[in-house]
Amino acid sequence: MRQPQVAFGSVSTRGLALGATAPAVLAALAKLDAEATRKQAAKATGQAAKAAKEAAVVERNARLVAEAAARRSSPQLQQRKRSLRARAARPRAAMGEVAPYTCVGGAVVEHDTRRNRQRG
């Protein structure tokens, strides 16, 4: 009587399962596993370097934002802004009160009304 064959995988690989226990096949599989492990380690190293680079970019951007906020609130910058505002306010004060809108003859152009074009 024939012994039942253990079947796994697709139909095309069932016959190969019996011969996969030979020492040469096991050595080849071990070699393939070692190569796959080496490739996975190289990939993990690359991904770790990429993650470190992204973390450095995030840290740099956070530092730049903090430095910009510190510069904006520095006493020297505040003094310079006050000086520029005062410098711009002096000529306005010298001119006196001026209405925000000055009426000038012919400044307003009126067009004849047009009928809306019919759509569709």
Output the tens digit of pLDDT for each of the chain's 120 residues. Answer: 466 666 655 555 555 555 666 788 788 888 999 999 999 999 999 999 999 999 999 999 999 999 999 988 889 999 999 999 999 999 888 888 777 676 777 777 677 777 777 776
- Amino acid found at 109: V
Report residue 109 as tokens.
């152009």
Query: 């730049």: which residue's tokens?
Result: 64
Indicate whether this model's pTM tops 0.85. Answer: no
- Cα(20)–Cα(29) distance, rounded to whole angstroms? 9
